[in-house]
Amino acid sequence: MAHLMNQARQAMQNLTNKRDQHQSHEANQEDIQAVQQCIQSAYEQCSPEEEQELKQLEQQLNQYQ
């Protein structure tokens, strides 16, 4: 459980870091899809508290699209 949640957090952090390093507001579509997959996988095994965090990660991800 926690592994998938951590993977989703890390994927989002990596996406944010890539964007910040390139100083671009556009993210690579493949990176966005990878983060979305991590989030969806984490949903399958998350606690109610983690579900709220996943929703926040999704909202953050939507800003990249």
Q: Which domain holds residue 17?
A: 2-62
24: part of which helix (H) or strand (E)? none
pLDDT band at residue 25 using 50, 70 and 90 as cut-offs: low
- At 51, which amino acid appears? E
Helix (H, G, I), strand (E, B) or coil at 44: coil
Q: Which pTM value belongs to this model?
A: 0.83
More confident residue, 64 or 5: 5
Mean pLDDT for the chain overall: 88
Q: How many domains does the chain have?
A: 1
**pLDDT at position 1, please?**
55
- Alpha helix (H) ranges present in the chain? 2-22, 29-43, 48-62
Does 31 have pLDDT greater than 60? yes
